[in-house]
Each structure stands twice: as C-alpha cells, then as structure tokens.
A and B are shown apart, each in its own frame.
Chain A
C-alpha cells in the first residue's frame, strides 16, 4: 500500500496534459515588470532608480527585515520607472519596469551547464547565499527559504523532506524539472542537509510520476541517506502538514511549525533554485512554468524569466483560445484567477491555467443538505459547513473554537459540495477575521 496522509483528501481528475514536454526557454520581450513583492513578508525596498542600467542578476530590491527576499533583475537593460503594477493578488503594488537591452549577465554568475557537485561552504555561508539569491518557496506559497531553513532556537530538523508531490491537477513544471535536473536537485539536497545539519532526506513523489520515481531512486543510490518514497495520488498531499503526515506519520499540532515534529519541507523547484544559487551564484531570476488548459493548442513547460507578462507565455502555448473564461496563476485548486494577462510571472508562478468559459462560472448555490461530504474530505479535520455558517452569522468565538484558523485553504470542501456552496470563500473570510481578533487580543 502506498503511503498517504490520514485525514480527508480528494482525487480530482489529473489532466497532466503537458507531462513529458521538454522545458523550452521563453524569448524575452521588450519590457519586463518586476514586482517588489513576490513573497510572503515585507515587500522589498527598490535600490535602483529611473535611468539606472542593470544586468541580468543585478540586485534591484533589497529585503526589509528578516522575513523578506531579495529581488534581482531578470534581464539586462534600463530602469524605466518604479510604479504600481497589477499583480496576481489583484492589487496594484510597487514594481520595477525595465526596458530590455540585450542579455548581459552579472560576471559572478556561472552560466555553464557543468554539474558542480562539491560544496565546501560552511552551513552559515550556504544560508547566506540562499538569502542573498532571494529564494522563496516555489510551490506557490513563496515563503522566504532562508527563514524556513533557520528553525527557531531550541528546535532542530531531523529530516529534510523534499516536496515533489505536485498534487495540483494540470501542473507538470516540477515533474519536468525533476526529469531534466535530477542530479542538480540531488546535489542541492546534500547541500541543504549540510546547511541544516540533518542526517536524512526523503523525497516524496506521487505515484502518477513513475518515471521521476524511477529516475530519482536510481540516481539517489550515489548519495547517502536520501530516500525516495512513492505516494498515493491524493490532494492536497503537497500541503506541508499533509506531506509530513504521509511520510513520517507525524501530525504537526495546530499553530506549530513543521520543525516541531522534526521536519523541514522544501519544494523540489526551490531545491533546484538553491543549487543554482549556491553552486552557480545565480539568483532567482527565472523559473519553470506550466502553461496549460483543456483547449490550449500546445500545453507546455517553459523556462520564463520573472517579470514577463503571462500573455507572452500563453502565446508560446498556442495563444488564448476563444473559449477562454478564466486565466489562473497556479493550479485549479489553489491558484489565483488573474484580472489581466499583462500580469507578470513571479517567483510563485508554478503554472498558467486557461479555463474554458463553460467551467469558469460557478453554479448557483443551493441550501446545504448536510451530507457531510465537506467534513469527510477536509484534510485538517474541520467541519467546513459549520465554519461557513458561523462566518455567515459572524459568530467569531465559535468559529475560533472550531479551529477556523487551521484551514489550509486547499478548497477540497468547495470542490466536493454537491449543493455548490462556496464554503472556502466564507471560511477564508472568517479565518482572516478570526486571525485579526486573535492578533488584537495578543497586543
């Protein structure tokens, strides 16, 4: 029996139609827009101004505080302006507009393809390099990686978990990256194990990626203490807490960090970025993006510089079909619907999903029939139907008591509801409200 997490879960149709498509680089357009907030935490402070000439890899945004991540220019050219730009959050936020001129890289970056296995840096130096390169969780959460790799004093990770689950339907960017950059990822795992001083690493891969499981199982033999585990296909297994439960049979308590059960989880795309940062001095300026959708002519995996408008990527996949109803950044379960195709690719853009008109609109909601299917699928063991009602009637104390803040917003409840009730919409709202109340109480 394949391992999986123990509470709830769903299995949506996979639609991994871009699987096996080799990663193609995207040609750089004339202008890029680089948002200064591409991560969870404080937005960066811009350190360039209008007219400044930048190279590919030049630092353009510096961190403010510990929970933040540097931003580098993904292209070479001239800074046009620093202005508001619409991003995937739906807000207009500060971004650096750069006019592209050629593609000249910072000299410190090693652009060769040769695999660099040796790493003589100390753990501290490794972490500093990761922080300097502006690496964040690339599975979509975009939490600064150096923060995650620095557990609070008194805690220690016994095991590094590499999240190669890619449980979202449609997305294949991690899968393809694993097929093409197997060795680099394994080197990176060894580096991170050294940085956080752990003896053991586990790579969790869902069983719908048999080729990747085989490739990694073979390649990992050359490394010590790296184990590859095939997992049953089950959403949301890529959720940090779910993955730890699936692999270690340990459940992170409510409100605690994964390191409290001895684990640190990193996405496989993040691992590759760490390899490039530590071994090649390359900051995070590009990423693999799956561009896909049922009606797309050429669903594919592309390597895109950050800051390129998603419309350029969509064109590479055959252009926007007439039947387009919705453009989503990320997967269909947790991705964000974009208000415009001018929005740029950022560090967290794992995929661009084009949803046809027919599927884009929700059905009207019916009265709850209390079938409890939402309760059965909730991976956190919550009662979504109750939480929705409590939010609707603004009964915050009971919402808090019923652990609304534990919700990981995976959307399994809304996905499942036979009465088409927007459970997660309400719960998200209630969660924000209750979190606010808790913060106010602590002050």
Chain B
C-alpha cells in the first residue's frame, strides 16, 4: 500500500541526471512534487 497524506515523507538521497546527489530533506522549506513513473520510455 502506498503511504498516505499526513505522515512525514521518507527521506532519501538519489543521483540526479546531473550526477549530483539530491537529498529530499535538504529541500525542507520548499514544497516538493514527487512523481514516480514506471520507466522512462513508456510514454510518461
């Protein structure tokens, strides 16, 4: 089951397309839209 609204977003650090690590909690102070999608070449 997907996590639901009302809880703290699980933190993570992942490499971006610039090959720079990005940590979610470092964006604190700004709203974030997080989108997961199945694969890059499946039309979205």
Q: Is B a genuine binding partner of A?
A: no
